[in-house]
Every structure is written in structure tokens, then in C-alpha cells.
Amino acid sequence: MGRNRRQAYAGQMQPQPIALRCAIYTRVSTEEGLNQEFNTLEAQRESAEAYIRSQLQAGWTTLAERYDDGGYTGANLLRPALRQLLIEVEARRIDCIVVYKVDRLSRSLLDFARLMEVLERHQVSLVSITQPLNTTSSLGRLTLNILLSFAEFERTMVADRTRDKMAAARRKGKWVGGTPVLGYDIAETGGKLLVNPEEAQRVQAIFTLYLQHGSLESALAEIRARNWTTKQWRTQEGKDRPGRLFKKATLERLLSNVIYLGKVAYQDAIYAGEQKPLIEEEIWKQVSEKLALERNQAAAARKASRAARCDSPRPSERAEPVPRITRLLALALKFEELIRCGTVSNYAALAEVAQVSRSRVTQMASLLNLAPDIQEEILFLAATEAQERGISEPSLRKLTATLLWSQQREQWRSLRRFARNRA
């Protein structure tokens, strides 16, 4: 009798297990079979519930809330059930998360490290029922990192195989997805582009407008006046993507897209496509040549602008400013160099790039009619002398109109010798 009393007393003294609130998280990457009564999500949950029941003596209990992500990849954390699970973790309503395998929670080592940081901060354990994993021990952490490394390797291999398949499809001229372009619709079965007759006419009109106007800015103004927009389409999820007003960049991309030639581009190579071409080869060639010329002219203008800024006096040098006539002559020399090198075809193109009138470019270029020694003296002309003598563009027009350099030199000497008459 005394012995039984002692045993009962000893049983009362043993510490009771601390209740461990366990949340079960399940995930599958495909939506196939989710509408069935029993699917892989249910299989994962039943296995987890059975494991938790086996730990009943340790105080483990299963929370009723379900955290199931069906049809979501483990390559990122953009999953609704996972987000809700983390909200519960932040609220400290969960003590342990149970998963069938570690890769159900994440296939990315970086993402998993972030998740573990959150779990550790809130003292939440992680258990994988098919793997010897216990994050409270150093050995468990090592095992965890090894498992995740293999999961990451598997995901990378799958991504590599997918990219290889897409590359092979592109080389065969197939449409492999992405944002559809104006002039084509995606076939219902996917993988192929079908001509949209109404949009195709608009694409052809845009190419024609560019050839007529000769510049992106002019063609863009005409396109906007007609209220034409980019492609309007609907995603596979049923979301409508409205067309947007053309910008210079989107117009240039359209005019440069080889898809309108019935071809596809992949890794700096061009392949014959399966779609029907919308633009003839000759028109495409003319547009490409004009685009290349316009790009070269724009680059030359930026270069000239940078050169002009570099030639401008710095704040510390403002005590000796450069005369305006000197800057004009330097710019005229730069313009002549651009034409001579073939960067700009003629003065008309130069005027368009510099955004000044054709007559203004001619006026500036007339300074190049001066004798070489006069040009040199103007380039090194002191600002004080230019101001005192009244040496400016208008005062030099008589010299630029004189064809004989000897007469130019005589007039130039007179101009530098005598001070300007003051009112």
C-alpha cells in the first residue's frame, strides 16, 4: 500500500509536457487533381497529422487552420497560404510548422534562409516528417542546409532544361510567349502568332508614315494625332491590358522588330519564323537605313553638345570668358567635321539634329570662308579685344562675303586696328 502511494506521488511530481501548437503547411506546383477528394495536398496533410499524433505524449497538437498552396511554385515566397502562415507566426499563435518535405516550404536556399530567420526570431520550430530534421540542434541545421542545397540544384536543373527547350523552339521560329505585338494575336493553342488584319494595316501604315516623315519625332506626332495605341490584349488569367500611347522608344522598337519580317530574334541571331510577314523586305531595308542614320545623328548631336559644354569656361575661369564669335566659329568647325566624317549627311540633316533653322546653320558655316590665319586669330581672340573692337558675327559678314583672302586680311586688320565707334 505504501509502495503504491509512493508511485502515485512520484507520478504527480513528473513534469507535464508543454503543449506545442503545430501548423501543417502543404504545397504542390501544379493545379491538376486539386478538385479531387484526395490529392497530394491531402496526402501531405494526412501524413503530417499522423506524425503529430505520434508525438502526443510530448504535447504536440494539430491546429485546425489549413495552410494549403495548390498550384504555386516553391521558387519564390509569393503564396497566399504561406503569407497567412507567417502572419500567424508573427502573432505568436504557432509553436511549430510541420511539412512533408523541406522543399514544400521553399526550393530557394536564399528564401529559406529568410524564412528561418523569421521562425527563429519568434521561436518557432520546423519539422520535416520524411527527413531527419530538427532545427533546434546544430546537426539538424547542417542537414537542413544540405537538403536545401539539393533542392536548389534541382530547381536550377529544371530551369536550365526549360530554357534549353525554349531556345530550341525559338531557333525553329516558334512563338514561346511574352507580350504580344501589334499586328498579331496569339493562337488559342499557344505557340503561334496569327495575323490580326486590322492591326496589320496599322503596322504597315506606321512604317509608311516613318518613311514619309523621315524622323521618329515627326512620325510620332502624326501617330498620336490619329490616336493610335500599342497592342491591346488579354492575359491567360483574363486581365485586360489596354493599349498605350506611343512614345519615341516604343515606336523605334516597333520599327526595329524583325517579327514583322516573318522572323524571330534570339541571342543576336535571326531565324525564320512561323508567322506570316507584314512588311516587305525593301520597305524594311529603307526603314532600317533611316533609323541607323537618325541614331548616328542623335549620337553626333550629343557628342557636339558635350564638346560645347567642355569648351565652356569653368566657374574659376569666368574672369576670361570666351567671345561669342569664337564659340560660333568653333561650333562651325565641329559641324564641318561631322559632315566630312560622314556622321551627318548634309547641312539640312545637321539643322534637324541641332534643332536650328537651315538658314542659321548656313550663317554659322559662312565663317569657314575666312582665311585660315583669320580663323586662327578668332579662335584665340581675347574677350576684352572682341568687346572693344566690336568683333562679332555681324561685323564679320562683309569679310565672309569676300572671296579673296588678301582683301579679307586687309579688312580684318582695319577691324582690329580701330576701336568701335560709340554712340
Give the rounded percent of residues in the chain with a pLDDT score beyond 90. 25
CB count within 10 Å of CB 197 equals: 8
The neighbouring-strand residues paired with 266 are: 269
Q: What span, in angstroms and rounded, lies between the C-alpha atoms of 403 and 365?
A: 15
Q: What span, in angstroms and rounded, lies between the C-alpha atoms of 256 and 55?
A: 65
Contact 391, 382 (CB under 8 A): no
Q: What span, in angstroms and rounded, lies between the C-alpha atoms of 192 and 275?
A: 7
Contact 105, 127 (CB under 8 A): no
Q: What span, in angstroms and rounded, lies between the C-alpha atoms of 24 and 98?
A: 5
Q: Is the Cα dihedral 101, 104, 107, 112 positive or negative?
A: negative
State whether residue 324 is helix, strand or coil: helix
Q: What span, in angstroms and rounded, lies between the C-alpha atoms of 43 and 32?
A: 14
Apex CA 44: angle with CA 38 and CA 49, to 5°?
A: 105
Give the C-alpha distances (Å, rounded to integers) separating 50 from 56, 81, 100, 258, 360: 10, 21, 11, 59, 88
> How confident is the model at residue 311, as a pLDDT?
55
> How confident is the model at residue 423, as a pLDDT?
36
User: pLDDT (tens digit, 9 = 90+) per residue, 204-215?
Assistant: 999 999 999 888
Phi then psi for residue 210, to 5 deg, are -65, -40
> How confident is the model at residue 18, as a pLDDT?
72
Give the C-alpha distances (Å, rounded to integers) separating 21 from 94, 106, 117, 294: 6, 22, 19, 68
Residue 33 has pLDDT above 60, yes or no: no
Residue 312 has pLDDT above 80, yes or no: no
Q: What span, in angstroms and rounded, lies between the C-alpha atoms of 3 and 142?
A: 48
HSE at residue 68, side-chain half, CA atoms within 13 A, is 16
> How confident is the model at residue 300, as a pLDDT?
74
State whether residue 70 is helix, strand or coil: strand
- Which of the four pLDDT bands, split at 50, 70 and 90, describes residue 23? very high
Closest by Cα among 82, 83, 86 to 27 = 82
83 or 378, which is more confident: 83
What is the separation, in whole angstroms, between the first and last Cα of the chain? 136
Phi then psi for residue 10, to 5 deg, are -65, -35
Residue 319 has pLDDT above 50, yes or no: no
The mean pLDDT value for 198-223 works out to: 92
User: pLDDT (tens digit, 9 = 90+) per residue, 254-298?
Assistant: 999 888 988 887 767 777 878 899 999 999 999 999 888 888 887
Cell of residue 37, nine digits:
477528394
Q: How many residues does the chain have?
A: 423
Q: What one-character DSSP code corresponds to residue 76?
A: S
User: pLDDT (tens digit, 9 = 90+) per residue, 44-98?
Assistant: 999 999 999 999 888 999 999 999 999 898 888 989 999 999 999 999 999 999 9
What average pLDDT is seen over the chain? 81
Stated pTM of the model: 0.43
307 or 188, which is more confident: 188
Q: Which strand (E) or helix (H) includes residue 234?
A: strand 233-234
* DSSP per-residue letters across 99-153: ESSHHHH-S-HHHHHHHHHHHHHTT-EEEETTTT--TTSHHHHHHHHHHHHHHHH
Closest by Cα among 34, 23, 28, 147 to 92 = 23
Q: What span, in angstroms and rounded, lies between the C-alpha atoms of 392 and 64?
A: 90
Residue 338 has pLDDT above 90, yes or no: no
Q: What span, in angstroms and rounded, lies between the C-alpha atoms of 57 and 53?
A: 9
Q: Is the Cα dihedral 84, 86, 89, 91 positive or negative?
A: negative
Q: What one-character DSSP code corresponds to residue 237?
A: T
Selection from 131-135, 171-175, 244-248, 292-296 with the highest mean pLDDT: 244-248
